[in-house]
Amino acid sequence: MANFRDNAIDFSLTDKTAEYSEKVKSNEMNPLVSLYENLLSVGADSDIEKSQKKYVRITNFLTINAFVASLVYLTIAILWEKWFWMYSTLGVSLLCVCVGFMNGFNYTRLSRITFMIGVNLLLFVAVATMGPMAKGESIFVISLLIPFLIYDLKKDKALIVTGAALPLLLMFLSELTMPYFKAYYLSNDQQLLMYHIGIVVQFCLAIGAIYQLVMYSRKAENELESSQVQMSFQTNELKRSNSDLEQFAYIISHDLKAPVRNISSFMNLLVNKHGNSLNPEAREFVDYSRNGAKRMERLIDDVLSYCRIGTNLPNPTPVNLNDVVSTVRFELSDKLKAADGMVVISKELPVVNNVHSSLMYHVFQNLITNGLKFNKSEKPEINVFWTNSLNYYTFSVHDNGIGISKEFSDTIFQMFKRLHNENEYDGTGIGLAICKKIVEYYNGEIWFESETGKGTTFHFTIRKF
């Protein structure tokens, strides 16, 4: 079944690759199409929200069409020697170029504002100089659509309202100011010709812009549907991985520990029955085997604990950390007494919501135990204190031990990372990895500050909510 699924994925990828290759070949054969696609994508391929890419591409589409239309009008203005009108149409061309550069440098929001305001103002000048028979003010109907096409109705309501009000205001003002530009009017025949050209241009722009909006809206829906399918697949894969992890933990706890216990049991039987008859070298080998079996069993238990973090947990509850540290201190009482050490809580610890007492126990137990174990002072002292911030509690466990070199700051929280050999300090090298995984499970961070020979302070954060 797995092979069939893998093959299906491979076929799908092959089909998509072939489709993409055909598209690339098609664009190579049609350089104008390739250029057009590249211009549409200016700024849309940058690091912006997916929901905004559609509006950037529509802005590019409108800019391209406005640029082409301005060249048409510019050519007509030059042929008719209407220089004032020529300057306004040339201004539209330069504006379109500026908008393209803004998108290219990722100023996509500024480019849309510039395009929306600039086009309206330049159209106002062009309309005022054409003459009343050209009915150029009708172009403001297309301008009225621009903010609805290039902005999100849910997120940019203020800009849409402003963008819609501006052409309505300019349409009203154009009728009032048109008489002042009478000296620059086109002839009656030219005005009628511009009226018919304007209808065609406006119709093409409106249809094209609406098509772009519908097309990219549909594309966005397809991408969303594809993302949901992919998310569903990843969720199923995560469930399967968690199931495999639980199965792995079961194998460790039962199948691997059983032979280790057998080795340890038979070594003990060997010592009990034949210990007196064994020569010193054989007895040393037996002791190595017994210690290795014990270490292996501890290692299996630690790996099992690491794998089970975050699985099969009850609902989180408020936990009084004073009780947690008191439990750790009680369990270490014999070691503390033997080392003449102490665990000090500088001030009463808080009650933390939405955590698990078992996991918090593991964090404090590992950090306090390490502070006692890696300590050569005459009176080991471990201080537990905390600070309060807006969203986090920051807990600190400070010891007066041997310290940690800064070169290990990136590796000390890795599994099986030991800074000392087993003859110096006992352990499996998993304790700090467990602490890190638990803290990150609660969306916190863990780090340390230390100076060799002057102790170490471990800090970790836990969210309040």
| d(C-alpha 238, C-alpha 250), whole Å | 18
Instruction: Say which range, 79-93, 185-199, 238-252, 266-280, has the weakest mean pLDDT.
Output: 238-252
| Confidence check: pLDDT of 149 > 70 | yes
> Which has the closest alpha carbon to 92: 53, 143, 43, 138?
143
- What mean pLDDT, rounded, does the chain reach? 79
**pLDDT tier for residue 130 given thresholds of 50, 70 and 90:** confident
pLDDT digits (tens, 9 = 90+) for 36-56: 777 777 877 766 776 777 788
| d(C-alpha 193, C-alpha 76), whole Å | 11
Q: What is the mean pLDDT of residues 19-44?
A: 63
SS3 content of the chain, % helix, strand, coil (to 5): 70, 10, 20
| d(C-alpha 345, C-alpha 325), whole Å | 9
- 314-463 classified as CATH 3.30.70.1520: no
> Which has the closest alpha carbon to 442: 323, 310, 325?
310
Question: Could you say which DSSP state residue 226 is in?
Answer: H
pLDDT digits (tens, 9 = 90+) for 84-100: 778 888 888 898 889 88
Q: Who wins on pLDDT, 124 or 30? A: 124
Please state the φ and ψ torsions of residue 212, each to the nearest 5 degrees. -60, -45
| d(C-alpha 379, C-alpha 391), whole Å | 36
pLDDT score recorded for residue 242: 67
Highest-scoring range by mean pLDDT, 156-160, 238-242, 247-251: 156-160
| Confidence check: pLDDT of 63 > 60 | yes
> Which has the closest alpha carbon to 412: 458, 378, 351, 379?
458
| d(C-alpha 465, C-alpha 446), whole Å | 18
Q: Who wins on pLDDT, 13 or 150? A: 150
pLDDT digits (tens, 9 = 90+) for 414-459: 766 665 555 555 656 778 888 898 899 898 999 999 888 889 999 9
pLDDT score recorded for residue 17: 42
Q: What is the mean pLDDT of residues 49-66?
A: 80
pLDDT score recorded for residue 384: 94
pLDDT score recorded for residue 8: 38
pLDDT digits (tens, 9 = 90+) for 316-363: 889 999 999 999 999 899 899 999 999 999 889 999 988 988 889 989
| Confidence check: pLDDT of 168 > 90 | no
Q: What is the mean pLDDT of residues 134-151?
A: 80
| Confidence check: pLDDT of 139 > 60 | yes
**Residue ranges of the chain assigned to CATH 3.30.565.10:** 314-463
| Confidence check: pLDDT of 18 > 70 | no
